[in-house]
A and B are shown apart, each in its own frame.
Chain A
Amino acid sequence: MHRLGCLATLLLATGACLASSVPQPPQRGEELLTTENAVGRYGGSLVVSQRSEPKTLNPVTATDGPSREVIGRLTADLIHINRGSLQTEPALAKSWTISRDGRVFTVKLRHGLRFSDGSPFDAEDVLFSFKVYLDDKVHSPQRDLLIVGGKPIEVQKADAYTVRFTLAQPYAAAERIFDGLAMMPRRLVEKAYKEDKFAQFWTLATPPSEIAGMGPFRLKEYVAGQKIVLERNPYYWKIDHNRNRLPYLDELVFLVVGNEDAQAIRFQAGDTDIISRFSPENYALLSKEAANRGTELVDLGPSLEYNFLVFNLNDLTSKNLGKIAAKQAWFQEPKFRQAVSSAIDRQGIVKLVYAGRGAPLWGNVSPSNKFWVDETLPHPPRSLDKARELLKAAGFSWRSDGRLLDRQGQPVEFSVIASSSNTQRSKMATIIQDDLNQLGMDVHVVPLEFRAVVDRVFQTYDYEASIMGLGGGDADPNPEMNVWLSNGGTHLWHLGETKPATDWEAQIDQLMQKQLVQLKYKERKRLYDQVQEIIAANVPYVFLATPDILVGAKKKIGNFKPAVLDPNTLWNVEQLYFLPGTPP
């Protein structure tokens, strides 16, 4: 009898263990979100690959792509940007209201929600999470977004389920800044935060039981250098039309495979179920066998990222870089930059670098960003004649052997640095070199390690021109503020300007500040169009091209709705399921 009792206890214990990741039936008092997706079925383990291993599981300090990809599945935000519609929608917040002056946001939280460890979620957790994000000592990359008009956003608790956010000035599309800000359980995190140990908190080595979030999954297992396994969060706050609690998948597995080619090979072999953002060459390779292997590959059209050539216009007086400073006389001449822009074969770049799966760019806004792109921006075709005219007008001349000379008779010669690990940007450099060679410019391509490129562009200014890429985070202009404001941290062509160096930079400053406090979309669009026009006319960046977003998935995956915005394929992972009739 005693032995039977033991067995019963054991069974109960295992039962409880199993039940722990079984979806909990919706309960009274829980204000759950009903999704619009097709009703799926439970079960299965979805496998995706990552190029490198996440560095951390800390949502506040993570900066690298792989970490954010995993953390995004473990956590949730108050207001979320729907990757499909590019519009904001309620998440942990049930609803929100904006005061008339546009400065006060009152956010109502959903009642009865629980973290993935079963503990309740309320306004205290929101207050605590924002306190951490806003803490200067934590160095969160998102902190900048929470500083409006020079002052941090004020967060106050109105009641257990209502939080009030006060901004120093009206802020256009302010609800978008909530996207991606993970709400953390105060109960678990506060101790480490108070002891100043937050930076080392929630690493890959942290036991799964000590990590909890509001995301569709929770950490189950981490095998160093190999994989991260997530399991269903049984308390997730979304349900489908049949009141099934999401997610459908039992597990989500991230395999670390090393590089993009390995990702393509593993997908081809059927080891992974979904592949995101891979090269057009591998796309062509995989599509040859897509039908046989039961996979579906999708070209989602141009991404929001922009690649460009930037000349070093930084103030070099305090640096010992005389050679580069001498060449800045050319780079500072707008006609020189316009001539370079006119000589570049953007169609050739799209064809050779992106195998035709991309779009040429003449401005900073991708054609796929329908809300914000200025469609009146001119798209002049490549013209060497026009480039020569511009150079002639700026006082350049040609030697008998075709070399371009400046006013002083010096041959025009400069180097372009590009990240050697980014084949696409190195390739752009080689194409540009050939294009500009036809104008008589002697261009050297210098492939450098990515960190060396970043260091030269952001710190030492020891470069002449560089090929870089930016954007792709959000469709809204606000995340671009630090690129275009003359004192912005990503104002790459001239960093650390105390006041605008040129009239047109001053104009951009004014327009960007104006659109920031303007709440009407139409008026903001008009202002941002003007910014795009000034940028296109003055060519601080010579825009090149943007790649298409290419993704793929096994056909047996239901509700697969890839999107242009990151994370392209896993943004609706809670809705993904294995179609009936297929082994999961």
Chain B
Amino acid sequence: MTTRHKTLVPIVLIVTLHLAILFAGFIAPADPTAQNRDFPFAPPSRLHFVDIRGHLHLHPFVYQWAPRPDSLNEYAESRDREYPLQFFVAGAPCRIAGIVPSHLHLFAVQAPAQIFLAGTDSYGRDQFSRILYGGQISVAAGLLATFISLLLGTLIGSVSGFYGKWIDESAMRFAELFMVLPWLYLLFAVRAFLPLHMSSAQTFLLLVAVIGTIGWARPARMIRGIVLSAKTQNYVLASSGFGASNLHLMRRHILPQTYGVLLTQAALLVPQYILAEVTLSFFGLGLSEPAPSWGGLLATLQQYNVLVSYWWMFAPAAALTIVSLGYLSVANAFHERLQSDSSWQ
């Protein structure tokens, strides 16, 4: 596989997943907070092509789940009626891409049946819809936090590298201080001081801000290194000798050299921050119920009986793995190109 292919596959994968997450309102068949109290921990609906009479259907269909009497959260398909999968149907109100209000859903089955592609959770909420909506929170947290980290990192790193002397000394010592901070405990502490009245949006923004702000130190040190070596290059010295201003030097000659590293860092940091959100939600520091996020969804697995009884509760972990691996492969590919391709330098 060529380097180009190596980059293309994960990029396509990531883009697809991100689009799915972005258009969660359209793709998810159900409202992620709607409880179906008759169907806690229902397994994923099975798509059938052949009915009980042996007839082949070109259109896939599902049977409705029916709770088995005298059992806890066990279900059987009630096969008296088929519910064909329908596409582009009107359903619960949603927002496409989080903005456009709509009723349109990619797929659904006719009421009273419901389709649970990834089963349901302990409140009977559709796990597939929750994973998609939860992805919005988790991925957005990752992207935003990365943006904040890199912005701060570039700013402090380049100033520190360019001006040197006491600015450099103090900024780098400060960065080291940040790197030794046990950030998880710091976040625990921050959460303890939060007022009760934090809406989901506020909690989310705070989470992102804290995660992003803590992570600036490492990129700042890398950027500083590049700036430090770049400013001694002959063409920079020449430009400076012709009377170019500091701002010009930075913009035209020095910062462009950091773009490759920034891109690689971004691809590395995004999955790291998605995982940070997951960790926080797992410990109950993230968004509170009923808002879904991947960490919140995975937190259910802390319960022993869920862990051993309902395998579909691991589905968010699969989504998380794909996204993380996707980003890491992209980072890896960037890194390889950076080293081999001089055009990046």
A residues near B, CB below 8 A? 261, 264-265, 279-282, 284-285, 323, 345, 348, 351-352, 355-356, 415, 417, 420, 423, 426-427, 429-431, 433-434, 444-447, 452, 462-464
> Would you call A444 and B122 a contact (CB within 8 A)?
no
> Would you call A282 and B284 a contact (CB within 8 A)?
no
Cα A434 to Cα B73 with chains together (Å) = 21
One of B40, B196, B306 near A415 (C-beta < 8 A): B196
> Would you call A427 and B122 a contact (CB within 8 A)?
yes
Cα A433 to Cα B303 with chains together (Å) = 22
CB neighbours (8 Å) of A355 from chain B are 72-73
Cα A176 to Cα B12 with chains together (Å) = 73
> Would you call A285 and B309 a contact (CB within 8 A)?
yes
> Would you call B35 and A423 a contact (CB within 8 A)?
no
Give min CB distance, A18 to chain B, whole Å: 41
CB neighbours (8 Å) of A426 from chain B are 289
Cα A147 to Cα B302 with chains together (Å) = 45
One of B37, B196, B303, B306 near A352 (C-beta < 8 A): B37
Query: Could you list 7 examples of A-B contacts with CB < 8 Å?
Result: A264-B305, A285-B308, A352-B37, A355-B72, A431-B123, A446-B196, A464-B196
The residue in chain A whose Cβ has the minimal distance to the Cβ of B200 is A444
> Would you call A446 and B288 a contact (CB within 8 A)?
yes
Cα A284 to Cα B303 with chains together (Å) = 14
B residues near A, CB below 8 A? 33, 35, 37, 40, 71-73, 122-124, 192, 196-197, 199, 284, 288-290, 303-306, 308-309
> Would you call B122 and A284 a contact (CB within 8 A)?
no
A-B residue pairs, 8 tightest by C-beta? A261-B304, A281-B305, A284-B72, A430-B289, A348-B37, A415-B196, A445-B289, A285-B305
CB neighbours (8 Å) of A264 from chain B are 304-305
> Would you call B288 and A280 a contact (CB within 8 A)?
no
> Would you call A282 and B305 a contact (CB within 8 A)?
yes
Q: Main SS of the interface on chain B?
A: loop
One of B35, B71, B199 near A434 (C-beta < 8 A): B35
Cα A176 to Cα B72 with chains together (Å) = 39
Cα A259 to Cα B37 with chains together (Å) = 28
Most buried by A among B33, B72, B122, B290: B72
Cα A104 to Cα B123 with chains together (Å) = 56
Give min CB distance, B300 to chain A, whole Å: 10
Cα A322 to Cα B82 with chains together (Å) = 57
Most buried by B among A417, A423, A463: A423
> Would you call B304 and A345 a contact (CB within 8 A)?
no
One of B40, B71, B288, B308 near A445 (C-beta < 8 A): B288
The residue in chain A whose Cβ has the minimal distance to the Cβ of B300 is A423
Cα A280 to Cα B199 with chains together (Å) = 33
CB neighbours (8 Å) of B73 from chain A are 284, 355
A447-B40 contact given A279-B305, A430-B289, A434-B290, CB 8 Å threshold = no
CB neighbours (8 Å) of A445 from chain B are 288-290
A434-B33 contact given A282-B304, A356-B72, CB 8 Å threshold = yes
> Would you call A430 and B303 a contact (CB within 8 A)?
no
CB neighbours (8 Å) of A348 from chain B are 37
CB neighbours (8 Å) of A285 from chain B are 304-305, 308-309
CB neighbours (8 Å) of B192 from chain A are 452
CB neighbours (8 Å) of B309 from chain A are 281, 285
CB neighbours (8 Å) of A345 from chain B are 37
The residue in chain A whose Cβ has the minimal distance to the Cβ of B37 is A348
CB neighbours (8 Å) of B197 from chain A are 323, 415, 444
CB neighbours (8 Å) of B124 from chain A are 352
Give min CB distance, B198 to chain A, whole Å: 8
Give min CB distance, A282 to chain B, whole Å: 6
The residue in chain A whose Cβ has the minimal distance to the Cβ of B124 is A352
> Would you call A430 and B123 a contact (CB within 8 A)?
yes
Cα A351 to Cα B308 with chains together (Å) = 20
Give min CB distance, A144 to chain B, whole Å: 31
CB neighbours (8 Å) of A323 from chain B are 197
Give min CB distance, A379 to chain B, whole Å: 19
Cα A361 to Cα B94 with chains together (Å) = 36
